[in-house]
Amino acid sequence: YEVLAFALPINLIYKSMYNESEQFFKSNYDLIHSDIDVMATLYFNGNALTPTELYSAAIFSSGGMTKVLKKLEERELIKREASASDKRSMLISLTIQGRELIENCMIEIAKNKEKKFNILTQKEKEDLKNILSKITYSFI
């Protein structure tokens, strides 16, 4: 059971961080993780994406994606436009308001996470980053 000595803390850290950010998104923006995940995917991609590209990148089901996109479009955080190369295809991108919201979200979440990880030295942070990267790649 040695593996549980580090697997359980990782799970507890994940749950705590997820719940804190979920509460932050809900109370400050009336959004949930899936909404933020879609917006962050668009933000970090830098370009407009088709719904298929978006739900592949965000690891979503197409049905779940439709619901999220509708909500974000109604809130004017994203826009859908016909593709210039294929009129049957829609491209989804962030609006200015959506871009500003996701940038503010990331800044606030990063500040919160920084407080949690400030107990580590710079060397410990680097070691942890390397260890977590190695573990993450073992799942791929």
Q: What is the pLDDT of residues 91-109, one digit of tens each?
A: 999 999 999 999 999 999 9
Q: Looking at residue 95, what is its pLDDT? A: 96
Please give the C-alpha separations between residue 20 and each of 39, 40, 124, in angstroms, as whole numbers: 19, 18, 23
**What is the rounded distance in angstroms from the CA atom of residue 63 to the CA atom of residue 58?**
13
What mean pLDDT do residues 116-124 have? 96
Query: To which residue do tokens 């697997």 refer?
Result: 7
pLDDT band of 61, cuts 50, 70, 90? low
Query: What is the average pLDDT score of the chain?
Result: 91
Q: Looking at residue 39, what is its pLDDT? A: 94
> 0.75 cut: is pTM over it?
yes
**What is the rounded distance in angstroms from the CA atom of residue 47 to the CA atom of residue 140?**
26
Q: Are 99 and 43 spatial neighbours (Cβ–Cβ below 8 Å)?
A: yes
Report the run of H or E that residue 94 belongs to, with start and end: strand 90-94
